[in-house]
Amino acid sequence: MKTLLGILGSPRKLGNSEIAVKAISRALQEPHELKLLRISDFDIRPCRGCYTCLFKEGRCVIDDDLPRIREALFDADALVVAAPTYFLGPNATLKHLLDRGLSLLAYIETLWGKPAVGVGIAGIVGKEGYTRLGIQSFLRALMCDVKGCEILYGALPGEIFLNEANEEILSGLAAALFQGPPATKNAACPVCGGDTFRFLENGHVRCMLCSNTGAFQMDENGVTFDIQPATHEMFLSKASAIRHREWLKGMKARFLEEKDRLKKICIDYLKDGTWIKPSRLEKAETPRCS
């Protein structure tokens, strides 16, 4: 039997994110076991940016609950991620976990291509900000095959189902989970399906999901984009993920080459400013540039 892993960004028990994930599970035709993981239950500390995991087969120097989440990701056949909008983006638990995701690059072969869908919840219609983009980015960085991501509105716990249309939207996501590639929507990036763009100076746009740029055209039928993949892709294919990992590893040699010059730049700033610290760290040494 397949395992569907529901990852919940919301700390709110039986809130909209949780019931949305459970509704997708109920609507899913394939026999499966639903496993649930609330990110805020786990002790996940901030990434230290040391890059050690890249050279130690994914082993992070921080001793916390990350391995437990990694195991759950390994065991899953498919993923559903649901997160509430907090201040115009997905709540921070998603990013907090994702920042530790560099260590997952050691497991591209195991993780690549698990089908996944996302749900963002917002309390006020139109006030979801970048929640959809944030959830899509999260799923892509987990190397998932993203089959869909929708925003539902509802502020109070359970409120999403005061609107019956939301049940259909969630059933649609359930149906998409084990189907072929999603149809490219109008006004979406033809490379990755993202729908959030930055306008550039030369009449071009940059897709905020895959970072590729290109021209766009607007006419009575809507917007169309002429965007091509660039040379340094990160998660468009398994090969590009592997190349990105090897590029990151290559930075070590570059760092060793440039170490002295870089140190000279940083050391000049060593004594600027007065650090405000929590009382337990007041006597600790000021962080230094290595």
Q: How far is the CB of 205 from ligand FMN (least distance, A)?
A: 25
Q: How far is the CB of 158 from ligand FMN (least distance, A)?
A: 8
Q: State yes or no: residue 84 binds ligand FMN (CB under 6 A).
A: yes
Q: What are phi and psi of 68, to 5 degrees?
A: -65, -40
Residues with Cβ within 8 Å of 41's Cβ and at least 6 positions away in sequence, in order, are none
Scanning residues 142 to 161, which ones bind ligand FMN (CB under 6 A)? Answer: 154-155, 157
Q: State yes or no: residue 163 binds ligand FMN (CB under 6 A).
A: no
3-state secondary structure of 128: coil
User: Applying CB under 6 A, which part among 8-16, 141-149, 213-221, 235-243 lies near ligand FMN?
Assistant: 8-16
Cβ-in-10-Å burial (0-12, 13-18, 19+) of 72 comes to middle
Nearest in space to 45 (alpha carbons), one of 60, 23, 25: 60
* 170 vs 207 by CB, closer to ligand FMN: 170
* 155 vs 270 by CB, closer to ligand FMN: 155
For residue 143, give both structure tokens. 């190397």
* 77 vs 159 by CB, closer to ligand FMN: 159
Q: How far is the CB of 210 from ligand FMN (least distance, A)?
A: 25
User: Which residue is associated with the tokens 């760290």?
Assistant: 281
Question: Residues 27-66 vs ligand FMN: string with x where CB under 6 A?
Answer: ----------------------------------------
Nearest in space to 45 (alpha carbons), one of 25, 58, 61: 61
* 156 vs 265 by CB, closer to ligand FMN: 156
* 123 vs 172 by CB, closer to ligand FMN: 123
Q: How far is the CB of 88 from ligand FMN (least distance, A)?
A: 4
Q: How far is the CB of 165 from ligand FMN (least distance, A)?
A: 16
Q: What is the DSSP string of 56-104?
A: TTT--SS-SSHHHHHHHHHH-SEEEEEEEEETTEE-THHHHHHGGGGGG
Q: What are phi and psi of 176, to 5 degrees?
A: -75, -25
For residue 237, give both structure tokens. 């294919």
User: Applying CB under 6 A, which part among 35-43, 67-75, 117-125, 214-222 lies near ligand FMN?
Assistant: 117-125
Q: State yes or no: residue 269 binds ligand FMN (CB under 6 A).
A: no
Q: How far is the CB of 121 from ligand FMN (least distance, A)?
A: 4
The span from the CA of 80 to the CA of 82, in Å, is 7
Contact 89, 134 (CB under 8 A): yes
Q: State yes or no: residue 17 binds ligand FMN (CB under 6 A).
A: yes
The span from the CA of 237 to the CA of 240, in Å, is 5
Q: State yes or no: residue 122 binds ligand FMN (CB under 6 A).
A: yes
Among 26, 56, 59, 127, binds ligand FMN (CB under 6 A): 127
Contacting residues toward ligand FMN, per CB under 6 A: 10, 12, 15-17, 84-88, 121-124, 127-128, 154-155, 157
